[in-house]
Amino acid sequence: MGEMNLAAMIIGGVALLLVLLGLYMLQGKGMFLIAGYNTMPREEQKKYDSLAVARFIGKLLLVLAFCMILWIAGIWSGESWMLYIGVALFLVCIGAALMYMNTGGRFLKQPSIKEHKKNK
């Protein structure tokens, strides 16, 4: 029983960290924590709406923390289905977020009206 409590405490600590980072990212801060963005050249970074990226990652971190809370509930209650659903949701959310972020240019800055008129 002690091992299960230790696992739940570790998962709870990670979930708490995800919540804190998620709230920080929702404020539009913490872009330096996103590895792909952080390693881009400055010219490339200027093409992206960093506030939108940070807020999306913040929301994702909060959803992942919720999934981890399902893990804890499954461990404490002994209901393995809760743990399995939490892990499945966790993986589905990560996969969906990766597809959403990397398709359609959703986080690229839109040219302003003045820039659009200049290019015509």
Concatenated DSSP letters of 6-35: HHHHHHHHHHHHHHHHHHHHHTT--GGG-H
Res. 52: pLDDT tops 60 = yes
Q: pLDDT band at residue 106, thresholds of 50, 70 and 90? A: confident
Against a cut of 0.85, is the pTM above it? no
In Å, how far are 1, 66, 83 from 73, measured between CA atoms?
14, 11, 7
| Residue range 81-103, pLDDT digits in tens | 999 999 999 999 999 999 999 88
Res. 39: pLDDT tops 70 = yes
CA distance 20 to 64: 12
Res. 120: pLDDT tops 60 = no
- What average pLDDT does the segment 40-65 reach? 92
Q: pLDDT band at residue 35, thresholds of 50, 70 and 90? A: confident
Q: Which residues pair with 48 in a beta bridge?
A: 108
